Amino acid sequence: MTNGLNNYDLDEAIKAFNEWKKEDEMKHDKEKYKPSLTYTSLLEEISKVRIYGIKKYGSSIDWQTTEPIQHLEAAIRHIRDVIDGEDFDEKGSGYLHLSHAACNIMFEIERFLKLEQCKP
């Protein structure tokens, strides 16, 4: 007794199902955040700048009381230093100017996303 499907039809049906499943998984996966896409060097550099800042200012949360414009202006200054040919913050931490810029931008991304969550 047969169910109306020959082996070819069954193979094609399985193949079609697997393709559909793969597409469906890819659609759902698009919305998930993927830490593996963030370079560990970025995390390490921001961490070094954060440790430096905590030692300098004495608090890990003081950034929250700083006006957003101050972080944005600091990020731009650090980026300008790189554009002007200075890679490292020789007068300050000794770390990359881009690391300082990334840290300041991180603060404002965090602030923005937290504020967005509070909106009705």
In which domain, by residue range, is 20 found?
A: 1-31
Give tens-digit pLDDT for 25-34.
Answer: 666 666 778 8
Tens of pLDDT along 83-97? 999 999 999 999 999
Residues 38-48 as b or e (16 or more Cβ within 10 Å = b): eeeeeeebbeb
- What type of residue sits at position 62? D
57 and 112 assigned to the same domain: yes
Phi, psi (rounded to 5 degrees) for 56: -70, -45
Q: Per-residue confidence at 1, pLDDT binned at 50, 70, 90?
A: very low
How many distinct structural domains can be found in the chain?
Answer: 2
Same domain, 6 and 49: no
Q: How far apart are CA 115 and CA 70, in angstroms?
A: 18
DSSP type of residue 3: -
64 & 91 share domain? yes
Domain co-membership, 52 together with 68:
yes
Do 88 and 68 lie in a common domain?
A: yes
49 plus 106 within the same structural domain: yes
Confidence grade of residue 19 (pLDDT, cut at 50, 70, 90): confident
DSSP 3-state assignment of 82? helix
This prediction's pTM: 0.72
Residues 55, 102 share a domain: yes
Q: Are 102 and 46 in contact (CB under 8 A)?
A: yes
